[in-house]
Amino acid sequence: MELGADAVLVNTAIAIARDPIAMAEGFRLGVAAGRAAYVAGAAAPRTEAAAASSPLTGFLGGDR
Amino acid sequence: VSFLEQLRLVPLEELLELTRDADDWAVEQALAVESPDLHDFAALLSPAADARLEEIAERAHRLTVQRFGRTVQLYAPLYVSNECLESCTYCSFARKNPVERRTLTVAEAVAEAGLLTEQGFRHLLIVAGEHPRLVSADYLAQILAALQPQVPSLSLEVQPQRTHVYERWVAAGAEGLVVYQETYDRDVYAAVHPAGKKRNYDWRLATAERAGEAGMKRLGIGALLGLADWRLEAVHLAAHARYLIRRYWKAFVTVSLPRLRPAAFAIDPPHPVADRDFAKLVCAIRLLLPDVGIVLSTRESPGFRDGVLPLGVTQMSAGSRTEPGGYSHPDETEKQFAVEDLRSPAEVSRAIRDRGYDPVWKDWEGVLNG
Protein backbone atom coordinates (compact mmCIF):
# COMPACT_ATOMS: atom_id res chain seq x y z
CA MET A 1 0.00 0.00 0.00
CA GLU A 2 2.88 2.31 0.81
CA LEU A 3 4.11 1.83 -2.77
CA GLY A 4 0.68 2.50 -4.25
CA ALA A 5 -0.65 -1.04 -4.84
CA ASP A 6 -4.24 -0.95 -6.15
CA ALA A 7 -5.44 -4.17 -4.55
CA VAL A 8 -4.48 -6.96 -2.20
CA LEU A 9 -5.27 -10.58 -2.98
CA VAL A 10 -5.49 -12.67 0.17
CA ASN A 11 -6.77 -16.20 0.46
CA THR A 12 -4.82 -18.72 2.52
CA ALA A 13 -4.03 -16.47 5.45
CA ILE A 14 -7.75 -15.82 5.96
CA ALA A 15 -8.98 -19.28 5.05
CA ILE A 16 -6.78 -21.09 7.56
CA ALA A 17 -7.05 -18.57 10.42
CA ARG A 18 -8.77 -19.78 13.59
CA ASP A 19 -11.47 -17.13 13.05
CA PRO A 20 -11.49 -16.33 9.31
CA ILE A 21 -14.08 -13.58 9.63
CA ALA A 22 -12.07 -11.73 12.24
CA MET A 23 -8.89 -12.21 10.20
CA ALA A 24 -10.63 -10.83 7.10
CA GLU A 25 -11.64 -7.79 9.11
CA GLY A 26 -8.02 -7.39 10.22
CA PHE A 27 -6.83 -7.37 6.62
CA ARG A 28 -9.60 -4.94 5.63
CA LEU A 29 -8.50 -2.48 8.29
CA GLY A 30 -4.84 -2.95 7.32
CA VAL A 31 -5.56 -2.11 3.69
CA ALA A 32 -7.72 0.86 4.65
CA ALA A 33 -4.96 2.16 6.95
CA GLY A 34 -2.32 1.77 4.25
CA ARG A 35 -4.44 3.52 1.69
CA ALA A 36 -5.27 6.38 4.04
CA ALA A 37 -1.57 6.88 4.84
CA TYR A 38 -0.63 6.75 1.17
CA VAL A 39 -3.27 9.30 0.17
CA ALA A 40 -2.31 11.55 3.09
CA GLY A 41 1.28 11.67 1.78
CA ALA A 42 4.15 11.17 4.20
CA ALA A 43 6.43 14.10 5.07
CA ALA A 44 9.75 14.13 3.24
CA PRO A 45 12.36 12.96 5.73
CA ARG A 46 14.35 15.92 7.08
CA THR A 47 18.07 15.49 6.90
CA GLU A 48 21.07 17.51 7.98
CA ALA A 49 23.36 15.51 5.72
CA ALA A 50 24.49 16.67 2.30
CA ALA A 51 22.85 14.94 -0.66
CA ALA A 52 25.20 12.64 -2.54
CA SER A 53 25.41 13.20 -6.28
CA SER A 54 25.61 9.42 -6.80
CA PRO A 55 23.52 8.11 -3.91
CA LEU A 56 23.47 4.50 -5.12
CA THR A 57 26.92 4.02 -6.62
CA GLY A 58 29.03 6.45 -4.59
CA PHE A 59 30.25 3.56 -2.42
CA LEU A 60 32.17 2.19 -5.41
CA GLY A 61 34.63 5.08 -5.29
CA GLY A 62 36.02 6.90 -8.30
CA ASP A 63 37.86 3.98 -9.92
CA ARG A 64 36.01 4.19 -13.20
CA VAL B 1 13.17 -28.58 -23.82
CA SER B 2 15.97 -28.75 -21.30
CA PHE B 3 18.10 -25.71 -20.55
CA LEU B 4 21.03 -27.48 -22.21
CA GLU B 5 19.07 -27.65 -25.45
CA GLN B 6 17.81 -24.10 -25.11
CA LEU B 7 21.33 -22.86 -24.48
CA ARG B 8 22.30 -24.01 -27.97
CA LEU B 9 19.85 -21.45 -29.36
CA VAL B 10 21.31 -18.56 -27.37
CA PRO B 11 23.64 -16.45 -29.57
CA LEU B 12 26.47 -16.55 -27.03
CA GLU B 13 29.21 -15.12 -29.25
CA GLU B 14 27.07 -12.19 -30.25
CA LEU B 15 26.09 -11.49 -26.63
CA LEU B 16 29.67 -11.72 -25.40
CA GLU B 17 30.75 -9.26 -28.05
CA LEU B 18 28.07 -6.85 -26.83
CA THR B 19 29.31 -7.14 -23.24
CA ARG B 20 32.71 -5.96 -24.50
CA ASP B 21 31.87 -3.33 -27.08
CA ALA B 22 28.25 -2.27 -27.06
CA ASP B 23 28.00 1.42 -27.97
CA ASP B 24 26.14 4.23 -26.22
CA TRP B 25 23.16 3.68 -28.47
CA ALA B 26 22.81 0.02 -27.38
CA VAL B 27 22.92 1.10 -23.72
CA GLU B 28 20.35 3.82 -24.44
CA GLN B 29 18.12 1.20 -26.06
CA ALA B 30 18.52 -1.18 -23.12
CA LEU B 31 17.35 1.57 -20.78
CA ALA B 32 14.49 2.64 -23.04
CA VAL B 33 12.70 -0.70 -23.38
CA GLU B 34 10.23 -1.83 -20.76
CA SER B 35 11.35 -5.48 -20.73
CA PRO B 36 15.02 -5.82 -21.61
CA ASP B 37 16.10 -9.01 -23.44
CA LEU B 38 19.45 -10.81 -23.32
CA HIS B 39 20.95 -8.37 -25.84
CA ASP B 40 19.97 -5.43 -23.66
CA PHE B 41 21.31 -7.31 -20.65
CA ALA B 42 24.66 -7.75 -22.41
CA ALA B 43 24.80 -4.07 -23.34
CA LEU B 44 24.21 -3.11 -19.70
CA LEU B 45 27.36 -5.04 -18.75
CA SER B 46 29.53 -3.25 -21.31
CA PRO B 47 32.09 -0.51 -20.58
CA ALA B 48 29.73 1.90 -22.35
CA ALA B 49 27.25 1.39 -19.51
CA ASP B 50 29.73 2.69 -16.92
CA ALA B 51 28.87 6.30 -17.64
CA ARG B 52 25.20 5.54 -16.96
CA LEU B 53 25.71 3.38 -13.90
CA GLU B 54 23.97 5.66 -11.41
CA GLU B 55 20.91 5.81 -13.68
CA ILE B 56 20.97 2.02 -14.16
CA ALA B 57 21.30 1.54 -10.39
CA GLU B 58 18.40 3.90 -9.76
CA ARG B 59 16.21 1.84 -12.07
CA ALA B 60 17.30 -1.46 -10.56
CA HIS B 61 16.62 -0.06 -7.09
CA ARG B 62 13.13 1.14 -7.98
CA LEU B 63 12.24 -2.17 -9.61
CA THR B 64 13.47 -4.12 -6.58
CA VAL B 65 11.49 -2.00 -4.12
CA GLN B 66 8.41 -2.33 -6.32
CA ARG B 67 8.64 -6.14 -6.43
CA PHE B 68 10.02 -6.96 -2.99
CA GLY B 69 9.41 -3.90 -0.82
CA ARG B 70 12.21 -2.65 1.40
CA THR B 71 13.04 -6.09 2.68
CA VAL B 72 16.00 -8.45 2.87
CA GLN B 73 15.55 -12.06 3.82
CA LEU B 74 18.23 -13.38 6.17
CA TYR B 75 19.53 -16.94 6.15
CA ALA B 76 22.44 -18.90 7.57
CA PRO B 77 24.40 -21.79 6.11
CA LEU B 78 24.56 -24.94 8.25
CA TYR B 79 27.59 -27.02 7.24
CA VAL B 80 26.92 -30.64 8.20
CA SER B 81 29.96 -32.27 6.57
CA ASN B 82 33.24 -31.43 4.86
CA GLU B 83 33.80 -34.97 3.61
CA CYS B 84 34.33 -34.75 -0.14
CA LEU B 85 35.47 -37.01 -2.97
CA GLU B 86 35.77 -34.19 -5.50
CA SER B 87 38.93 -32.37 -6.57
CA CYS B 88 37.80 -28.78 -7.18
CA THR B 89 40.99 -26.72 -7.34
CA TYR B 90 39.35 -23.66 -5.69
CA CYS B 91 37.95 -25.41 -2.62
CA SER B 92 39.66 -26.33 0.63
CA PHE B 93 37.36 -29.37 1.08
CA ALA B 94 38.81 -31.10 -2.04
CA ARG B 95 39.67 -34.74 -1.27
CA LYS B 96 43.43 -34.40 -1.53
CA ASN B 97 43.63 -31.57 1.00
CA PRO B 98 44.86 -32.54 4.49
CA VAL B 99 41.99 -30.92 6.38
CA GLU B 100 40.37 -32.57 9.36
CA ARG B 101 37.16 -34.24 8.16
CA ARG B 102 33.99 -34.13 10.11
CA THR B 103 30.36 -35.12 9.58
CA LEU B 104 27.84 -33.99 12.17
CA THR B 105 25.52 -36.49 13.79
CA VAL B 106 21.83 -35.68 13.50
CA ALA B 107 21.88 -34.56 17.15
CA GLU B 108 24.85 -32.25 16.47
CA ALA B 109 23.07 -30.75 13.46
CA VAL B 110 20.01 -30.11 15.60
CA ALA B 111 22.22 -28.40 18.20
CA GLU B 112 23.79 -26.17 15.51
CA ALA B 113 20.33 -25.28 14.18
CA GLY B 114 19.27 -24.47 17.74
CA LEU B 115 22.05 -21.88 18.04
CA LEU B 116 20.95 -20.34 14.73
CA THR B 117 17.25 -20.16 15.60
CA GLU B 118 18.21 -18.54 18.93
CA GLN B 119 19.82 -15.76 16.90
CA GLY B 120 16.61 -15.35 14.92
CA PHE B 121 17.20 -17.43 11.78
CA ARG B 122 14.23 -19.29 10.30
CA HIS B 123 15.83 -19.97 6.89
CA LEU B 124 18.71 -22.43 6.96
CA LEU B 125 20.82 -23.70 4.08
CA ILE B 126 22.21 -27.17 4.76
CA VAL B 127 25.63 -27.47 3.12
CA ALA B 128 27.82 -30.56 2.71
CA GLY B 129 30.75 -31.82 0.68
CA GLU B 130 30.14 -34.37 -2.06
CA HIS B 131 30.57 -37.81 -0.51
CA PRO B 132 27.81 -40.26 -1.52
CA ARG B 133 28.48 -42.69 1.33
CA LEU B 134 29.18 -40.38 4.30
CA VAL B 135 26.74 -37.69 3.12
CA SER B 136 24.07 -40.03 1.77
CA ALA B 137 20.52 -39.29 0.67
CA ASP B 138 19.34 -41.11 3.83
CA TYR B 139 21.56 -39.06 6.09
CA LEU B 140 20.29 -35.78 4.63
CA ALA B 141 16.67 -36.99 4.82
CA GLN B 142 17.21 -37.69 8.54
CA ILE B 143 18.70 -34.22 9.06
CA LEU B 144 15.76 -32.61 7.26
CA ALA B 145 13.20 -34.56 9.25
CA ALA B 146 14.95 -33.67 12.53
CA LEU B 147 15.24 -29.95 11.75
CA GLN B 148 11.85 -29.47 10.15
CA PRO B 149 9.86 -29.06 13.41
CA GLN B 150 11.99 -26.10 14.51
CA VAL B 151 12.96 -24.49 11.17
CA PRO B 152 10.18 -23.32 8.81
CA SER B 153 12.41 -23.10 5.72
CA LEU B 154 15.17 -25.58 4.86
CA SER B 155 17.23 -25.58 1.69
CA LEU B 156 20.11 -27.81 0.64
CA GLU B 157 23.40 -27.19 -1.12
CA VAL B 158 24.83 -30.68 -1.56
CA GLN B 159 25.86 -33.18 -4.22
CA PRO B 160 23.51 -33.24 -7.25
CA GLN B 161 20.98 -36.07 -7.11
CA ARG B 162 18.37 -37.78 -9.24
CA THR B 163 14.80 -36.50 -9.21
CA HIS B 164 13.46 -39.26 -6.94
CA VAL B 165 15.94 -38.30 -4.20
CA TYR B 166 14.74 -34.70 -4.41
CA GLU B 167 11.17 -35.92 -4.11
CA ARG B 168 12.14 -37.75 -0.93
CA TRP B 169 13.82 -34.68 0.47
CA VAL B 170 10.81 -32.53 -0.34
CA ALA B 171 8.66 -35.03 1.56
CA ALA B 172 11.15 -34.86 4.46
CA GLY B 173 10.82 -31.07 4.65
CA ALA B 174 13.17 -29.56 2.06
CA GLU B 175 11.89 -26.40 0.51
CA GLY B 176 14.77 -25.37 -1.70
CA LEU B 177 17.80 -26.55 -3.60
CA VAL B 178 20.89 -24.51 -4.32
CA VAL B 179 23.40 -25.67 -6.92
CA TYR B 180 26.13 -23.54 -8.44
CA GLN B 181 27.46 -24.48 -11.83
CA GLU B 182 30.72 -22.97 -10.46
CA THR B 183 31.68 -21.93 -14.00
CA TYR B 184 29.66 -22.05 -17.21
CA ASP B 185 32.87 -22.06 -19.27
CA ARG B 186 33.26 -25.71 -20.34
CA ASP B 187 37.04 -25.59 -20.72
CA VAL B 188 37.58 -23.92 -17.38
CA TYR B 189 35.06 -26.31 -15.82
CA ALA B 190 37.11 -29.27 -17.03
CA ALA B 191 40.35 -27.68 -15.78
CA VAL B 192 39.15 -26.87 -12.24
CA HIS B 193 37.44 -30.26 -11.82
CA PRO B 194 40.27 -32.59 -12.81
CA ALA B 195 38.72 -35.73 -11.32
CA GLY B 196 35.56 -37.10 -9.73
CA LYS B 197 31.87 -37.28 -10.53
CA LYS B 198 31.62 -33.53 -10.72
CA ARG B 199 33.45 -33.58 -14.06
CA ASN B 200 30.09 -34.13 -15.74
CA TYR B 201 29.13 -30.56 -16.72
CA ASP B 202 25.77 -31.46 -18.29
CA TRP B 203 24.58 -33.48 -15.30
CA ARG B 204 25.32 -30.57 -12.99
CA LEU B 205 23.70 -28.09 -15.37
CA ALA B 206 20.39 -30.00 -15.30
CA THR B 207 20.33 -30.31 -11.50
CA ALA B 208 18.05 -27.33 -10.87
CA GLU B 209 15.59 -28.77 -13.40
CA ARG B 210 15.48 -32.11 -11.57
CA ALA B 211 14.84 -30.25 -8.31
CA GLY B 212 12.10 -28.26 -10.02
CA GLU B 213 10.48 -31.45 -11.30
CA ALA B 214 10.56 -32.83 -7.76
CA GLY B 215 8.62 -29.85 -6.47
CA MET B 216 11.28 -27.81 -4.69
CA LYS B 217 9.80 -24.37 -3.99
CA ARG B 218 13.06 -22.46 -4.13
CA LEU B 219 15.66 -23.02 -6.82
CA GLY B 220 19.04 -21.35 -6.43
CA ILE B 221 21.75 -21.18 -9.07
CA GLY B 222 25.04 -19.34 -9.25
CA ALA B 223 28.52 -19.03 -10.67
CA LEU B 224 31.70 -18.76 -8.66
CA LEU B 225 32.95 -15.47 -10.02
CA GLY B 226 36.69 -15.35 -10.65
CA LEU B 227 37.22 -18.72 -12.34
CA ALA B 228 36.47 -17.52 -15.88
CA ASP B 229 35.52 -14.31 -17.71
CA TRP B 230 32.70 -12.82 -15.61
CA ARG B 231 30.87 -11.63 -18.73
CA LEU B 232 30.56 -15.19 -19.98
CA GLU B 233 29.29 -16.32 -16.56
CA ALA B 234 26.82 -13.43 -16.48
CA VAL B 235 25.25 -14.20 -19.85
CA HIS B 236 24.87 -17.92 -19.05
CA LEU B 237 23.56 -17.29 -15.56
CA ALA B 238 20.97 -14.82 -16.82
CA ALA B 239 19.80 -17.22 -19.54
CA HIS B 240 19.66 -20.07 -17.01
CA ALA B 241 17.66 -18.10 -14.43
CA ARG B 242 15.25 -16.87 -17.09
CA TYR B 243 14.71 -20.45 -18.28
CA LEU B 244 14.00 -21.70 -14.73
CA ILE B 245 11.61 -18.84 -13.97
CA ARG B 246 9.57 -19.59 -17.08
CA ARG B 247 9.61 -23.34 -16.71
CA TYR B 248 9.13 -23.67 -12.93
CA TRP B 249 6.89 -20.69 -12.51
CA LYS B 250 5.61 -21.87 -9.14
CA ALA B 251 9.12 -21.84 -7.69
CA PHE B 252 11.08 -18.83 -6.45
CA VAL B 253 14.32 -18.67 -8.41
CA THR B 254 17.41 -17.06 -6.89
CA VAL B 255 20.85 -16.28 -8.29
CA SER B 256 24.03 -16.05 -6.25
CA LEU B 257 27.12 -14.18 -7.36
CA PRO B 258 29.83 -15.45 -5.01
CA ARG B 259 33.23 -13.99 -5.73
CA LEU B 260 35.98 -16.54 -5.19
CA ARG B 261 37.62 -16.00 -1.79
CA PRO B 262 41.00 -17.10 -0.51
CA ALA B 263 40.78 -20.60 0.96
CA ALA B 264 43.32 -23.01 2.40
CA PHE B 265 45.07 -25.15 -0.27
CA ALA B 266 43.09 -23.45 -3.06
CA ILE B 267 43.94 -21.48 -6.21
CA ASP B 268 43.77 -17.68 -6.42
CA PRO B 269 41.01 -16.38 -8.73
CA PRO B 270 42.48 -16.18 -12.27
CA HIS B 271 39.80 -13.66 -13.35
CA PRO B 272 39.03 -11.37 -10.41
CA VAL B 273 35.85 -9.31 -10.72
CA ALA B 274 36.06 -5.60 -9.87
CA ASP B 275 33.55 -4.05 -7.44
CA ARG B 276 32.11 -1.83 -10.15
CA ASP B 277 31.55 -4.76 -12.53
CA PHE B 278 29.92 -6.71 -9.72
CA ALA B 279 27.53 -3.83 -9.03
CA LYS B 280 26.76 -3.53 -12.74
CA LEU B 281 25.97 -7.24 -12.86
CA VAL B 282 23.54 -7.03 -9.93
CA CYS B 283 21.71 -4.14 -11.62
CA ALA B 284 21.59 -5.81 -15.05
CA ILE B 285 20.17 -9.03 -13.59
CA ARG B 286 17.49 -7.04 -11.80
CA LEU B 287 16.49 -5.18 -14.98
CA LEU B 288 16.34 -8.42 -17.00
CA LEU B 289 14.57 -10.46 -14.28
CA PRO B 290 12.49 -8.20 -12.02
CA ASP B 291 11.25 -11.12 -9.88
CA VAL B 292 14.45 -13.08 -9.38
CA GLY B 293 15.96 -13.31 -5.90
CA ILE B 294 19.55 -12.07 -5.66
CA VAL B 295 21.68 -13.54 -2.88
CA LEU B 296 24.70 -11.86 -1.29
CA SER B 297 26.89 -13.91 1.04
CA THR B 298 29.38 -13.05 3.77
CA ARG B 299 32.17 -13.47 1.22
CA GLU B 300 31.78 -9.73 0.64
CA SER B 301 32.97 -7.01 3.04
CA PRO B 302 30.50 -5.20 5.34
CA GLY B 303 30.84 -1.86 3.52
CA PHE B 304 30.39 -3.43 0.12
CA ARG B 305 27.38 -5.49 1.23
CA ASP B 306 25.70 -2.40 2.66
CA GLY B 307 26.41 -0.53 -0.58
CA VAL B 308 25.16 -3.21 -2.97
CA LEU B 309 22.04 -3.96 -0.94
CA PRO B 310 19.73 -1.29 -2.49
CA LEU B 311 20.77 -2.19 -6.05
CA GLY B 312 18.72 -5.40 -6.10
CA VAL B 313 19.75 -7.79 -3.32
CA THR B 314 16.90 -9.73 -1.72
CA GLN B 315 18.69 -12.28 0.45
CA MET B 316 21.74 -12.18 2.68
CA SER B 317 23.51 -14.58 4.96
CA ALA B 318 24.90 -13.34 8.26
CA GLY B 319 27.23 -14.59 10.97
CA SER B 320 28.19 -17.49 8.70
CA ARG B 321 30.47 -20.33 9.74
CA THR B 322 31.75 -22.37 6.82
CA GLU B 323 32.95 -25.41 8.74
CA PRO B 324 30.88 -28.30 10.15
CA GLY B 325 30.13 -27.69 13.83
CA GLY B 326 31.36 -24.11 13.52
CA TYR B 327 28.53 -22.51 15.49
CA SER B 328 28.99 -24.80 18.51
CA HIS B 329 32.79 -24.99 18.32
CA PRO B 330 34.27 -22.12 16.30
CA ASP B 331 37.72 -22.45 14.74
CA GLU B 332 38.24 -26.17 15.38
CA THR B 333 37.99 -27.30 11.74
CA GLU B 334 39.25 -25.80 8.46
CA LYS B 335 36.77 -23.42 6.84
CA GLN B 336 35.57 -23.83 3.25
CA PHE B 337 36.49 -20.22 2.55
CA ALA B 338 37.34 -17.09 4.50
CA VAL B 339 34.35 -14.98 5.51
CA GLU B 340 34.82 -11.26 4.91
CA ASP B 341 31.75 -9.91 6.73
CA LEU B 342 32.39 -10.96 10.33
CA ARG B 343 29.50 -9.00 11.83
CA SER B 344 27.02 -10.87 14.02
CA PRO B 345 23.50 -11.47 12.71
CA ALA B 346 22.26 -8.75 15.08
CA GLU B 347 24.79 -6.28 13.67
CA VAL B 348 23.90 -7.14 10.07
CA SER B 349 20.24 -6.77 10.95
CA ARG B 350 20.92 -3.32 12.43
CA ALA B 351 22.89 -2.24 9.33
CA ILE B 352 19.95 -3.31 7.15
CA ARG B 353 17.57 -1.23 9.27
CA ASP B 354 19.95 1.73 9.12
CA ARG B 355 19.61 1.64 5.34
CA GLY B 356 15.83 1.83 5.64
CA TYR B 357 15.17 -1.86 5.01
CA ASP B 358 13.41 -4.50 7.07
CA PRO B 359 15.35 -7.68 7.80
CA VAL B 360 12.99 -10.64 7.24
CA TRP B 361 13.79 -13.71 9.31
CA LYS B 362 10.74 -15.69 8.37
CA ASP B 363 8.48 -15.55 5.31
CA TRP B 364 6.96 -19.00 5.27
CA GLU B 365 5.21 -21.45 7.57
CA GLY B 366 4.63 -25.15 6.98
CA VAL B 367 0.89 -24.81 7.63
CA LEU B 368 0.65 -22.86 4.36
CA ASN B 369 1.87 -25.83 2.31
CA GLY B 370 -1.34 -26.79 0.56
B18-67 pLDDT, tens per residue? Answer: 999 999 999 999 999 999 999 999 999 999 999 999 999 999 999 999 99
Is B278 within 8 Å of B223 (Cβ atoms)?
no
* Residue pLDDT, tens place only, B266-304: 888 999 999 999 999 999 999 999 999 999 999 999 999
Q: What ipTM is given for this predicted complex?
A: 0.85
Give me the pLDDT at residue B365, please. Answer: 79
pLDDT score of B364 more than 90: no
Distance CA B366, CA A47 (A): 43
* Partner residue opposite B66 with nearest CB, options A3, A59, A63: A3
Is the Cβ pair A59, B58 closer than 8 Å? no
Is the Cβ pair B307, A59 closer than 8 Å? yes
Is the Cβ pair A64, B50 closer than 8 Å? yes
* Partner residue opposite B276 with nearest CB, options A3, A55, A63: A63
Distance CA B123, CA B177 (A): 13
A15 CB burial (10 A radius; 0-12, 13-18, 19+): exposed
| Range scoring the smallest mean pLDDT among B108-122, B126-140, B158-172, B256-270 | B256-270
pLDDT score of B176 more than 60: yes
Helix spans in chain B (H): 3-7, 12-21, 24-32, 38-44, 53-68, 106-118, 137-147, 163-172, 186-192, 201-205, 207-213, 230-247, 275-288, 302-312, 345-354
In chain A, whose CA is at the least distance from the CA of B307?
A: A59
Find the length of chain A. 64
Please give the residue that has the higher pLDDT: either A34 or B147: B147
Report percent pLDDT > 70 for chain B: 99
Instruction: Indicate whether this model's pTM tops 0.90.
Output: yes
Is the Cβ pair B307, A60 closer than 8 Å? yes
Is the Cβ pair B279, A54 closer than 8 Å? no
- Pick the closest to residue B307 from B66, B67, B54 (CA basis): B54
Instruction: Fill in the amino acid letter for B169.
Output: W
Query: Which of the four pLDDT bands, split at 50, 70 and 90, describes residue B80?
Result: very high
- Specify which residues B296 forms β-bridges with: B316
* Partner residue opposite A57 with nearest CB, options B53, B65, B306: B53
In chain A, whose CA is at the least distance from the CA of B312?
A: A56
Give the CA distances from residue B350 to residues B126, B164, B210, in Å, rounded to whole numbers and listed in that order: 25, 42, 38
CB atoms within 10 A of CB B22: 23
Closest-CA distance, B313 to chain A, in angstroms, reads 13
Report chain A residues whose CB lies below 8 A from the CB of B306: 59
Query: Which of the four pLDDT bands, split at 50, 70 and 90, describes residue A64?
Result: very low
Q: What is the mean pLDDT of residues A32-51?
A: 78
* Partner residue opposite A60 with nearest CB, options B66, B276, B310: B276
Query: Which of the four pLDDT bands, split at 50, 70 and 90, describes residue A2?
Result: low
> Which residues lie below 8 Å from residue B109, measured CB to CB, with a gap of 6+?
B78, B80, B126, B143, B146, B147
Is B19 within 8 Å of B236 (Cβ atoms)?
no
Give SS3 for B179: strand
Distance CA B217, CA B248 (A): 9
Is the Cβ pair B58, A56 closer than 8 Å? yes
Give me the pLDDT at residue A46, please. Answer: 66
Is the Cβ pair B58, A64 closer than 8 Å? no
* Ordered DSSP codes for B266-282: -PPPSS---HHHHHHHH
Is the Cβ pair A60, B279 closer than 8 Å? yes
Q: What is the mean pLDDT of residues B357-366?
A: 89
* Partner residue opposite B279 with nearest CB, options A12, A55, A57: A57
Give me the pLDDT at residue A49, please. Answer: 67
Give me the pLDDT at residue B2, please. Answer: 97
Closest-CA distance, B311 to chain A, in angstroms, reads 7
| Range scoring the smallest mean pLDDT among A11-20, A54-63, B91-100, B316-325 | A54-63
Distance CA B229, CA B185 (A): 8
Query: Which of the four pLDDT bands, split at 50, 70 and 90, describes residue A5?
Result: confident
How far does Cα A8 stand from its chain's mean position?
A: 12
| Range scoring the smallest mean pLDDT among A49-63, B124-138, B207-221 | A49-63
* Residue pLDDT, tens place only, B179-219: 999 999 999 999 999 999 999 999 999 999 999 999 999 99
B306 touches chain A (CB under 8 A): yes
B11 touches chain A (CB under 8 A): no
Query: Which of the four pLDDT bands, split at 50, 70 and 90, describes residue B333?
Result: confident
B279 touches chain A (CB under 8 A): yes
B367 touches chain A (CB under 8 A): yes
Is the Cβ pair B61, A3 closer than 8 Å? no
**Which H helix or E strand runs over B137?**
helix B137-147
Instruction: Fill in the amino acid letter for A59.
Output: F
Report percent pLDDT > 90 for chain B: 92
Backbone φ/ψ region at B12: left (φ over 0), alpha (ψ -120 to 50), beta: alpha
Report chain B residues whose CB lies below 8 A from the CB of A57: 53-54, 57, 279
Query: How many CB pairs lie under 8 A apart between chains A and B?
Result: 33
Distance CA B140, CA B269 (A): 31
Closest-CA distance, A22 to chain B, in angstroms, reads 19
Distance CA B73, CA A51 (A): 28
Give me the pLDDT at residue A47, please. Answer: 66
